[in-house]
Amino acid sequence: MSAAITSLIDGLNPQQRAAVTATEGPVLVLAGPGSGKTRVLTHRIAYLIREKNLHPSALMAVTFTNKAAAEMKHRVEGILGDRLKGLQIGTFHSICARLLRREAESTRHRNDYLIYDTDDQLTVINQAMTEQNIDDKKYKPRAILNAISSAKNELTGPDAFIAQGYMAEVTRRVYQRYQEILISNNARDFDDLLMDTAILFRDHPDVLEKYQQFYEYLLVDEFQDTNAAQYYLVKELAAPQNNVFVVGDEDQAIYAFRGADYRNVLQFRRDFPQAQIILLEQNYRSTQVVLDVARAVIDKNSNRTRKALFTERQGGTPVQVFEAYSDSEEAEYVVTTIEEQRRKLSLSYKDFAIMYRTNAQSRAMEEACIREGVPYKLVGGIGFYKRREVRDLLAYLRLVNNLDDSVSFSRVINIPKRGIGKKSVEDFQAWAAKNRYTTSRALEALADGEVTPLNSSAVKKFIEFHRMILEWRQEASSNNLAALLDSILIRTHYTMHLQETSDDNEQFMEREENVKELRGLLDKNIGMPLNEFLEEIALVADIDTVSDALDAVTLLTLHAAKGLEYPVVFLTGLEEGLLPHMRSFDEPEGMAEERRLMYVGITRAMQRLYLTYAFRRLMYGDSTPGRPSRFLADIPLDRVEGAPSKMLQNQSRRSFEAETRWDDSTERRSGSLLAGLGRPNKPASLPAASAPKKENLKYKTGQKVRHAKFGEGVVIHSLRMGSDEEVTVSFSDKKIGLKRLAASFANLEILGEK
DNA sequence: GGGCCGTCGCTTTTT
DNA sequence: GCGACGGCCC
């Protein structure tokens, strides 16, 4: 063994070493969080290239995000010290997208096909529904889209879709038409990228064989989050040698909603009984305290391989729990704590992450960051490519690339205003559909003077628009995309349009800035064919665009946090209905996934972990009461420390004791702060709000009250304590904050309902 | 065809 | 609390 090889496996533990060097045949690695799985993957790639003398192009590595792919490539280059020409590394979607372009002649699309995102998909769904007179009040387009997406992820095409029941029949009809429109538009949705590749392999054994021979070794990361289509692709490509290496952790499966099925891990063992199974159990990321908390949460899930995660980093700072009155107080606490800890521990802003279940929760955090002057970077939310002006201009670019894209066509045909209204566009599309014309064919027919239901002035405007696009098409062939965008901006007077449609100057400037940013992006990619540029931006994930260089706090959803790590992590909004999310209350599998989500969040923390929740939270514009998440009740008390404020500390401690103690007596909980813990319960029936009425208590949640000494405040909740009533009040004087008072002594004056 | 204004529904999570 | 959409009027 050469010195270079030894250094490749030096510093790896025996299990990691086994995973790196087990090159032949199927291998399944079950890797706990922080167990050095990326290290294993990169070293394995390097090992295959160095030791097995493999050409990089004979390797295919699938990662979960483009960011992870880029990082992996970078790290392998760091090990090998040279370029990895031809190494295929990327997400399933990006790898399939490229493959489908290369093999276009064996598919139903041309190689300049477009990739539709969710908004585009909904436009097509709506069109398909309108055409068939399906009421979108009765059948939610979004639900139908989800059903179609699930079907595709199971590799069920529109013809194989069997409808049982009325809803399914509606779905079947929409699916049928939806797919026709996509093909006619020369467009694919995300799921088609996978399904069409699978179909290609099924119907063209010669093509499949070519790739089977080309890719001698396969590696798949985050295997627990693969769906049926992806698993099919892995299995097909791996054959016949089956040099397939998959890494996953069932406890981190959090994408069932998009068709992922962690049982693929079990399926893999069944399909490859000769597979080597390697467990990575040593954690190099977190302290023992963090791991204890993580374990306490995940151990409540059944049907899993229990792993004995361990670390050599004994001890650690106890997990801090903070109970806030409102979402804004929670945010304030998080941000001021970051500032305080950053100074105390000499950390950078980028060492901190704030995590939450839903994107909507980012708002309060952002506002607090702005107030406190803490720099932050937001992952997800309304991303750059979702801005109206960016979408408009991209629609022009997409049309230039592919004039059959009816979605982009109907988006910009009247932007800026050209006097072509909704009615004209609908008539045009209906006429095109009736004649089975694609959009470009229909436009040509108009120019040829074919009889249409449109009036002559409308026809003239359509023809004019068509000509304009064709001219840009000429320009696009030079691959100077920034110049092309300039032509579009000038010819359409787009800036003027922006000015006219902006509410104020501030909004106008912001939008113009976005246009400039898009132009900058096009300029950076000078020489890149338009189609490739469009493909690239269609497949970027929010997380891909986050800069590591920027020193700022990261705000992200728990889903986006997968695979990342931070010295200090804040898990926020730990409330019933949020985490676990109310949408998972009625399915045990959904609840188990929420728990895994919590587990993923906890295990991102290297040194310090903060868990926070709020009594009241702004939802849909008004404040609604909440209760601490049931998952908090599973955390061992001796790993936890209360909030810094003395009073809240007591409150918090009491809550936790209460939770653990009352875990098996649901009845006693009603009317208490922790009512309903451990039991599915819709926030609509929150005992905090409804129980006092039932028990005929004097004070009700939300009431404004005055105390002789503490001043004015709001009742958080009230509960019967023997013959007396215990009222918890949040006083407007911040120094007083929350108080628990005995009603008979406190003499609270009721000032009215909120 | 276009602009204004009121109603409604909404939120998981994402390639 | 906000954006999408439908109804209404010019």
Residue-wise pLDDT tens digits, A16-40: 999 999 999 999 999 999 999 999 9
The per-residue pLDDT for A575 is 93
Strand C closer than 7 A to residue A620 Cβ? yes
Strand B closer than 7 A to residue A557 Cβ? yes
**Angstrom distance (rounded) from CA A147 to CA A169:** 11
A644 and A341 Cβ atoms separated by less than 8 Å: no
Matching residue, tokens 């690339």 = A401
Where is mean pLDDT largest: A143-157, A450-464, A680-694?
A143-157
Burial class of A324 by CB neighbour count within 10 A (0 to 12, 13 to 18, 19+): buried
**Angstrom distance (rounded) from CA A229 to CA A499:** 46
CA A328 – C1' B12 distance (Å)?
A: 21
Beta bridge partners of A28: A246, A277
Give percent of chain A above pLDDT 90.
Answer: 62
In strand C, which positions have an atom below 7 A from any protein CB? 1-2, 5
pLDDT digits (tens, 9 = 90+) for A521-542: 999 988 999 999 999 989 988 8
The per-residue pLDDT for A531 is 93
A533 and A526 Cβ atoms separated by less than 8 Å: no
Chain centre to alpha carbon of residue A162: 30
Quote the tokens at residue A177: 């038409």
Average pLDDT, chain A: 86
**Angstrom distance (rounded) from CA A96 to CA A233:** 10
- For the segment A561-577, the average pLDDT, to the nearest whole number, is 95
- Tell me which of A8 and A576 has the higher pLDDT: A576
CA A391 – C1' C8 distance (Å)?
A: 30
Quote the tokens at residue A517: 């940013």
CA A696 – C1' B5 distance (Å)?
A: 44
Strand B closer than 7 A to residue A384 Cβ? no
Quote the tokens at residue A5: 């090889």
Residue A653 bears catalytic tag? no
Nucleotide lying nearest to A136, CA to C1' measure: C5
- Tell me which of A500 and A345 has the higher pLDDT: A345
Give the DSSP letter of residue A317.
Answer: P
Least reliable range by pLDDT among A164-178, A353-367, A706-720: A706-720
pLDDT digits (tens, 9 = 90+) for A205-218: 999 999 999 999 99
Flag residues 108-137 of A with CB < 7 Å from strand C.
Answer: 126
**Angstrom distance (rounded) from CA A578 to CA A583:** 9
Chain centre to alpha carbon of residue A538: 15
The per-residue pLDDT for A453 is 87
Question: Is the bond into A580 cis (omega within 30 degrees of 0)?
Answer: yes
Three-state DSSP class for residue A353: strand
**Angstrom distance (rounded) from CA A41 to CA A338:** 33
Matching residue, tokens 């802003």 = A349
The per-residue pLDDT for A689 is 28
Distances in whole angstroms, Cα of residue A161 to Cα of each of A133, A143, A157, A200, A322: 21, 16, 6, 19, 50
**Angstrom distance (rounded) from CA A658 to CA A586:** 25
How many residues in chain A? 754
CA A236 – C1' B8 distance (Å)?
A: 48
**Angstrom distance (rounded) from CA A317 to CA A640:** 9
Give the amino acid at A407.
Answer: V
CA A137 – C1' B7 distance (Å)?
A: 14
In strand B, which positions have an atom below 7 A from any protein CB? 1-3, 9-15
pLDDT digits (tens, 9 = 90+) for A302-321: 878 778 889 998 888 999 99
CA A289 – C1' C3 distance (Å)?
A: 45
The per-residue pLDDT for A670 is 27
Provide the pLDDT confidence category of residue A547 given band limits of 50, 70 and 90: confident
To 5 degrees, how large is the angle CA A602–CA A542–CA A527?
A: 145
pTM: 0.84
- For the segment A6-22, the average pLDDT, to the nearest whole number, is 90
Nucleotide lying nearest to A420, CA to C1' measure: B1
The per-residue pLDDT for A431 is 92
Nucleotide lying nearest to A620, CA to C1' measure: C1
Strand B closer than 7 A to residue A118 Cβ? yes
CA A147 – C1' C5 distance (Å)?
A: 24
A247 and A272 Cβ atoms separated by less than 8 Å: no
Residue A37 bears catalytic tag? yes
**DSSP for A191-248?**
HHHHHHHHHHHHH-HHHHHHHHHH--EEEESSGGG-BHHHHHHHHHHHTTTT-EEEEE
- For the segment A67-75, the average pLDDT, to the nearest whole number, is 92
Residue A682 bears catalytic tag? no
Question: Is the bond into A240 cis (omega within 30 degrees of 0)?
Answer: yes
A23, A38, A241, A336: the catalytic one is A38
Residue A295 bears catalytic tag? no
The gap between the terminal CA atoms of chain A, to the nearest Å, is 76
Residue A10 bears catalytic tag? no
Strand B closer than 7 A to residue A559 Cβ? yes
pLDDT digits (tens, 9 = 90+) for A86-102: 899 999 999 999 999 99
Provide the pLDDT confidence category of residue A55 given band limits of 50, 70 and 90: very high
Quote the tokens at residue A84: 């990895």
**Angstrom distance (rounded) from CA A406 to CA A390:** 18
Quote the tokens at residue A159: 């013809």
The per-residue pLDDT for A698 is 82
Residue A654 bears catalytic tag? no
Give percent of chain A above pLDDT 70.
Answer: 90
**Angstrom distance (rounded) from CA A678 to CA A661:** 12
Within 10 Å of residue A726's Cβ, how many Cβ atoms? Answer: 18
Q: Which helix (H) or strand (E) holds A424?
A: helix A422-434
- Tell me which of A715 and A64 has the higher pLDDT: A64
- For the segment A229-252, the average pLDDT, to the nearest whole number, is 96
Decide if pLDDT at A393 tops 70. Answer: yes
Least reliable range by pLDDT among A234-238, A294-298, A697-701: A697-701
A252, A492, A554, A607: the catalytic one is A252
Nucleotide lying nearest to A122, CA to C1' measure: C4
